[in-house]
Structures are given as C-alpha cells and as structure tokens.
Structure 1
Amino acid sequence: MSKKTLANLSAADLAGKRAFVRVDFNVPVDDAGNITDDTRIRAALPTIQDLTQKGAKVILASHFGRPKGVDDKLRLTPVAKRLSELLGQEVIKTDDCIGDDVAAKVAAMSNGQVLLLENVRFYKEEEKNDPEFAQKLAANADLYVNDAFGTAHRAHASTEGVTKYLSPSVAGYLIEKELQYLQSAIENPQRPLAAIIGGSKVSSKIGVIETLLEKCDKLIIGGGMVFTFFKARGLSVGKSLVEEDKLELAKSLEAKAKERGVALLLPTDVVIADNFAPDANAQTVSIENIPDGWMGLDIGADSVKFFQEALADCKSVIWNGPMGVFEFDKFAVGTEAIAHTLATIGKSGATTIIGGGDSVAAVEKVGLADQMSHISTGGGASLELLEGKVLPGIAALDEA
C-alpha cells in the first residue's frame, strides 16, 4: 500500500498553508500530571519540524486517555509545555478542538507557528467518526497529515473522517517509517526471517501467528501462551495459565507449521513459581516436569540458549510480546535475554523490529532501545498491520 507522504510536499506546496496534523500524544503522566515518558512526543518532531521549516501553520490534534466528556485531568496542557521545550518555540494551546475560539487562534497564526488543539476525545463524536464533527475539525485547515500510527487502526473523525474534507491527505514521517519497516518485514524480508511471539494469551495473537506462519522461516513462542501449546501436547502444566478453548487451535497451528516447513519453537524449560507474586518461590524445571500447584512465569536458561541458537543466523526478526512476567524482576530474565540477543544480531547486520506493546517496554527497561532497527509506536496497530489487515487511518490517505 503505497501512500503519499509529507516527503512528497515541497516548501512551495506548504508555505502559508494550514496543516491539520493528527499525532499520538497519549503519553503516560504521574498523579501530579507530569509526563513520565515523552517518547511519543519526540517521535512526532521530524514531521512537525519539517512542516514549520517549510513555512506551514501547524495545527496538532491528539487524543489523551479515555475521557467521558470534558475532563480537566485529561487536558493536553502538559503536552503543550513539553512540546514547546522540545521545539524551542512557544506552542499555542487552545481549550477546545473546534469552534470560534479555535478559528480565531488559527487565523492569528504566522507561518511556522505551532498550535495544539485540546483533546479530541472530549467529544464522543470523535470515536464515532461523526462526519459533522470531522468537518468542524477540518474547517480550520487546508491539508491533512496523519502521523499517529498508534491510532491508525481506528476509523475516528481525526484519523479517517477529516480526510474527506482535506486535500492532500498524506502520511507523516513516523507513519512512513512504520509502514516501511513493518510491511517490508512481512512482504519482502531478508531471510531467514524469525518471529518471536510472546504474551499471556494465544487468543490475542492468533491472527498474527497465522499470518506469520505463511511468511516466516522460524516462529519462536514464549510467554504464558506456551502452556496452552504444552497442554495440547498432553503435558501437565500445573496451575500455569491455559486457554482450555484454544487447545485444538494450538494443535492445528503446530500442524500448520510442520506442513509449511516453518520451525515452530517452544521453550524446553521454564521458571516456575508457587504463586503469582514478585517474591514467589521459584525453580527451573524441564517442560515435562512441571509439578501440580506450580505455575510457569518465565522461560528457563536452556530455552534462552535454544532460542539464541535459532536466532543466530536470522537476517530479520520481528518481536511482539514478552517471554515471561517481565514486570517481576525475578521472572524478567528470559525477556531481557531475548532483548540482548536481538541487540547482538543487530550488530552483525540483522534487521530487528520490536512490534509494539510490552516488548517495547522490555527493550527500554534494559536500555537497548537504540540498538534495535525499529521500535514500533503502535500496539494494536502494529499487530493488525503484521496480520495483513487494512488500517483505516492509512487507507484513507492519498495514493502515491
């Protein structure tokens, strides 16, 4: 899916034009309202700076949290402050995202200025993709740039609806980079291609596993979902997490891998605990020897070695989901070892893609984020793109 991007627009196309830019500034904040991680704000800087340098008037729109109507705790004021610091220029902040006050502030903008609209989800019409609301958002702009990959899988007024009223509608640099990495990893990878899929439930990753079985050479499975596979093989899993209604599916996925010649690799040993707690008693056992009353919370040292050997010759790796309960330090060892392994193979030229969600947090926790080829900013959006689904926020943009 080749889309028109901001790179296709010159200063002549943009000077003096009002650009409505959908960004994802849904950043974490502490109880006092201070931003604890500004990654998403920094990720939008290349697009914002390109527009300001080309003389556009930049109107930014984002959601923040899940408000039910106007909620003072979910205003974007702290984001405007942080963005001003990062850009080295004042960001004008409005108290609404549509209406006369917004229109007046936009009319007063000079070329190269940046304005941040209030949280678009203060209006329920945003998530309903209401055409009238989309038209009101678009009324203050000449063109549209979508750089919010994290919400590209949602057809909302500010991600899809506005494109009907603004032309051109193009992808920003962040979305362009996401598509470049995630799509080419699936459609045209350097081989061998390995996918590492973790997380607690098979059910949330079925689509991805099925798609990846068509595309990859090796599929490594970790996290809580492995116990559904083990139980399907007839092994005893103690009180580990199992999705009883997915046992047949697990069997069919293993059969499908075999049929397609894909190496589907499961852990050989696991770290088990006597309860689900950071200070639980723990021991490492082979997958055949999980005692009753114990639950698996991480992959063991042999599994790490087994997975490292499988990844050693890979030229492309996509990782989505942790190997264990990495929020508990005692059970984070497997996940952290995989992060180190990807950093190592990346140094010898492999493309390493972290596909959103918890694996991003894991890579950041061990300080290896800058050693990965690409870290996706979207959780659900990355998964849906890897599944081969059409993302409405991207489909709505102009064709290249």
Structure 2
Amino acid sequence: MSFKSLDDLDDLSGRRVLTRVDLNVPMDGGRVTDATRIERVLPTIRELAGKGARVVLLAHFGRPKGQAVADMSLAPVAKALSEHLGRPVAFASDCIGDAARSVVDALGDGDVALLENTRFHAGEEKNEAAFADAVASLGDIYVNDAFSAAHRAHASTEGLARRLPAHAGRTMQAELEALGAALTTPVRPVLAVVGGAKVSSKIDLLENLVKKVDMLVIGGGMANTFLAAKGKDVGKSLCEHDLADTATRILKAAEASGCEIILPVDAVVAREFKAHAANETVSVDEVPADAMILDVGPASIATVVAAIDKAKTLVWNGPLGAFEIEPFDKATVAAARHAAERSKAGALTSVAGGGDTVAALNHAGAAEAFSYVSTAGGAFLEWLEGKDLPGVSALQA
C-alpha cells in the first residue's frame, strides 16, 4: 500500500501536529509497569519535535465508555512519558475545548503535550463528526503512530485522517512494512506458526493463511481439535470437538491451495496442569484417555525446525504448548530460538505478534532477534485475517 510517512514532512516549525499514539500501558498504583508502548513511540515524537513541530499527542486508556473516569486519566502516563522522553510533556485535562486549546496554544516549537483520554468522550468511539472536528481544530497535520488501534474506526484513528493531511509515524510505518513483507509481498517459501488455545478464536485467521502461505504449523490447544477431526483420541486435552467440521474444512482448503499443514506427531502429556507435573512423551496415536496434551514432543519439534529451515519468511502467532509452565515450554522455546538464529543470520524474515506471542518469545529470549515483533494485538490479528483496518486505509495516499 502507498502512504505518506514522516519523510514527506520537512519544515514543521510552528506547525501543530496531532499525533495518535498508543499509551494504553499497564499500571499499578499510578506507576507504569511496562513501558514498551511508550518506548515504541519515542522515535516519532523526537523526530517531529526535532523538526520544530508542536507535538500534540492523542491517546486512549482503558474503556471509560464515554465518561471521565479518574482511574483512567492519562495524567500519570504523561509523567512517565516525560521521564522516558527526557523533556517536559505538558498535559491537558481534556482533549477538546478550552482546556485542550489553552495547552496547545502555549506550546513553542519543539514542545510536546499530551491531551486527556480521547475515550472520555462518546464521540471518539462513535467517530462522530462534531467530535472529530473539535479535535482536528487543534492541529494542522495528523500523524498516526498507533497501529494497535488502527482496526477501530474511531475519531482519533480514522476521522482525523479525513480532515487533516495524514502521515504514518515511524512505528506505524515499521509495522506496515513488516506486515507487507510477511504476507503482501513475501519472499517464499512462507511459513506460518499458529498456536493458542482455541480454533474458534482463529477461524478467520486460519482460513486466510492457508490461501497465502506455503506451510502452516498448528500448535497449542488448537492442534488437538485438528487431531480429533482426523480421528485421533486426545484424551482429556483441551479440544473443541464441535469444530471438527470446521477443522476438516480448513484442512481441505489448505490442500486445495497447496499449503502444507504441519500437525504434531508426538506429544508431551500429563494428568495435571501444573509446573513440573509428571509427564511422558507419546505418539499422537497413543494419548492416554486420562491424560492431556500440554506440549508437542521432540519429533514434532524437529519437524517445525525443519520447516523453519526451509522458509524464507515466517509469520508467528501463538505458542506451541503451555509455555507458561515448565517443562511444557520446550517446543515453543526451541522453535522460537531456532527462528531467532535464522533471522539473526539473515536467512529468515520473521514477523510475530498477537495474544501470548510476545510473552512466549520473551520467555524464550528470542524476541529481539526476530525481524519484527508487533505489540498490536487485535490489529495484528485482523491484518493476518485479511480484514480492512480503517485507521490504515485512511492513510493511503
């Protein structure tokens, strides 16, 4: 897709740049406990400020449902942002009206301000014209650096892009380029690794991927549903038996598209779902009736590693087993580390994100070596599902 980036912005002196960012960070007692999302937007803020822009940040926090909720104020986040940015960040107690305008009007070239939670107004999520107009009146240019919110047609993600010259920030640009390299114009063969608990939450994802990738590894609890659909007894494993027809349909669609489906051939089973529970490795044809599959076995790991070796592009979403508890993290760790090694060597373009994926890759110590790791969650998944993202579409040049 074609879109304007910060490269298309030169002299910004005195220009008010409304910049949509994702500052929906985890908090505990008014303290930010994970600053990843803050760190992701720093390059865009610094670049805009460095070009003399008056940077006006827009963000949401939580789900206040159109009401001002004290616990969902961005005031504590403004303080944390200032610390990470290394410069003052002015804060406005509203994102429209006199409170917002007085703060914006007081900005000098290169100054930064954060406006209060956009979701304190019902017009934000409804993308109401009057609300979007009110916010737009505070700026001259719009920059969207919040891919994570781009799947929502809200005033601050879609409406503003229709009212002001619109550009992608550096985080948005990196995300779009990474996803484009993964699915739109990938170097083949393309491998997708999809794990997680339930097929029901990823039907659209699987149906889209089998049409676009060359190999698809299915792991986690999802794999049990596919194994059951193929006539395997998965014992007491997490399994959506009522989706057998859906699984069969996906398998047939993959065959018709020439996509190789890779399912476990062996499994690590236990009678209890707890760390270091007594376990054994068995063939998927011999899962005990009183046991549950908690990870894939060494033969399956070898198959996944071999697929990674064949691939030139990898898309990863979801763990292969119950990675949160040892020793059922072995498959996820082994596969992630191998993909990281291949990526570091320049032999693989690897893009990962969504759900527990980031946590799983961090657990494996592999995240930093992946080509790109998205923290976008829902937007990342909807992109993989082939859905239109309003906040992205609105940026198209």
Give the shorter-chain TM-score range.
over 0.9
Q: Could you tell me which of 203, 213, 216 is aligned with 2:213?
A: 216
C-alpha change, 1:23 and 1:268, in structure 2 (3 Å) is: same
Q: Could you tell me which of 104, 124, 127 is aligned with 1:126?
A: 124
Task: Specify the alignment match of 2:112 in structure 1.
Answer: 114
Equivalent position amino acid for 2:135 in 1: L
Q: Could you tell me which of 48, 53, 60 is aligned with 1:51?
A: 48
Equivalent position amino acid for 1:226 in 2: A
SS at match of 1:63: coil
- Asked whether the equivalents of residues 91 and 115 of structure 1 are also in contact (C-alpha less than 8 Å), the reply is yes
- Asked whether the equivalents of residues 52 and 58 of structure 1 are also in contact (C-alpha less than 8 Å), the reply is yes
Equivalent position amino acid for 2:5 in 1: T
Provide the C-alpha distance between the structure 1 equivalents of 2:182 and 2:353, rounded to a whole number of angstroms: 11
Equivalent position amino acid for 2:340 in 1: A
C-alpha change, 1:157 and 1:347, in structure 2 (3 Å) is: same
Provide the C-alpha distance between the structure 2 equivalents of 1:65 and 1:296, rounded to a whole number of angstroms: 35
Equivalent position amino acid for 2:4 in 1: K
Report deviation, 1:398.
Answer: 4.7
Task: Specify the alignment match of 1:2 in structure 2.
Answer: 2
Q: How many residues are treated as equivalent by the alignment?
A: 395
Indicate yes or no: 2:308 matched with 1:311: yes
Task: Specify the alignment match of 1:151 in structure 2.
Answer: 149
Task: Specify the alignment match of 1:82 in structure 2.
Answer: 80
Task: Specify the alignment match of 1:348 in structure 2.
Answer: 345
Q: Could you tell me which of 22, 36, 40 is aligned with 2:37?
A: 40
Indicate yes or no: 2:198 matched with 1:198: no
Report deviation, 1:18.
Answer: 0.5
Q: Could you tell me which of 113, 138, 141 is aligned with 1:140?
A: 138
Report deviation, 1:352.
Answer: 0.9
Provide the C-alpha distance between the structure 1 equivalents of 2:162 and 2:301, rounded to a whole number of angstroms: 50
C-alpha change, 1:281 and 1:67, in structure 2 (3 Å) is: farther
1:148-187 mapped onto 2 (5 Å cutoff):
148-166=146-164, 168-187=165-184
Tell me the percent identity: 48
C-alpha change, 1:278 and 1:127, in structure 2 (3 Å) is: farther
Provide the C-alpha distance between the structure 2 equivalents of 1:133 and 1:328, rounded to a whole number of angstroms: 47
Q: Deviations over 1:298-318 (max 9, x none)?
A: 222221112111211211111
- Structure 1 stretches of 5 or more lacking a match? none
Q: Deviations over 1:6-61 (max 9, x none)?
A: 221112xx22111111101111122x222121111111111111110111100101
Q: Deviations over 1:86-127 (max 9, x none)?
A: 221100011221110111111111010000111111223221
The TM-score normalised by the length of structure 2 is 0.95
- Asked whether the equivalents of residues 337 and 365 of structure 2 are also in contact (C-alpha less than 8 Å), the reply is no
Q: Could you tell me which of 268, 271, 278 is aligned with 2:268?
A: 271
Report deviation, 1:282.
Answer: 2.7
Indicate yes or no: 2:246 matched with 1:249: yes
SS at match of 1:375: strand
Provide the C-alpha distance between the structure 1 equivalents of 2:210 and 2:345, rounded to a whole number of angstroms: 25
Report deviation, 1:249.
Answer: 1.5
Q: Deviations over 1:158-182 (max 9, x none)?
A: 111222322x111111111111111
Task: Specify the alignment match of 1:392 in structure 2.
Answer: 390
Equivalent position amino acid for 1:113 in 2: D
Provide the C-alpha distance between the structure 1 equivalents of 2:368 and 2:278, rounded to a whole number of angstroms: 34
Task: Specify the alignment match of 1:93 in structure 2.
Answer: 91
- Asked whether the equivalents of residues 96 and 119 of structure 1 are also in contact (C-alpha less than 8 Å), the reply is yes
Provide the C-alpha distance between the structure 1 equivalents of 2:163 and 2:212, rounded to a whole number of angstroms: 38
Provide the C-alpha distance between the structure 2 equivalents of 1:280 and 1:365, rounded to a whole number of angstroms: 20
Q: CA RMSD in A?
A: 1.5
- Asked whether the equivalents of residues 379 and 389 of structure 2 are also in contact (C-alpha less than 8 Å), the reply is yes
Provide the C-alpha distance between the structure 1 equivalents of 2:396 and 2:390, rounded to a whole number of angstroms: 12
Equivalent position amino acid for 2:227 in 1: F
- Structure 2 stretches of 5 or more lacking a match? none
